[in-house]
Amino acid sequence: MTFTITANEANLAELYTELCLRCDKQYYFNDCFSLTFNDTEVNSTATLPYISGGTTFAASNEYTYLCLVDLAEGTNTITFTTIANNAFNIYGIKCIIGV
């Protein structure tokens, strides 16, 4: 899954993704996804959303902080690739600029 962000100027930003909550066990980002930002692989040790009990997926989502990124002026490309059979629904991303 690929997202593009257009920035008016270069800036440091916090990158978040909105994911469904899992109910079966706790997962970590690098166990489920690889992430590239402007063709550079990014490491994230983020703990993914989890709520105990219930079915495999909860009926809600939450944003999870992934990492800091250096936004370039112009178009920036963020790609998520599934690397395991630990499915999560990705609903979107957000960047908090100027941190």
Q: Do the beta carbons of residue 12 and residue 68 sit within 8 Å? A: yes
Domain containing 59 equals 2-97
Q: Which helix (H) or strand (E) holds 31?
A: helix 29-32
Q: What is the pLDDT of residue 83?
A: 86
Q: What is the pLDDT of residue 58?
A: 61
What is the tens place of the pLDDT at every residue in 22-64?
767 778 898 889 999 999 999 999 988 777 766 666 667 889 9
Rounded CA Rg of the chain: 14
The CATH number of the domain holding residue 53 is 2.60.120.260
Domain count, the chain: 1
Whole-prediction pTM value?
Answer: 0.85
Kindly report each contact of residues 45-54 with a partner whose C-beta sits within 8 Å and lies 24 or more positions away, as own/partner.
48/19, 48/22, 48/88, 49/19, 49/20, 49/21, 49/22, 50/21, 50/22, 50/23, 50/25, 50/26, 51/21, 51/22, 51/23, 52/23, 53/23, 54/23
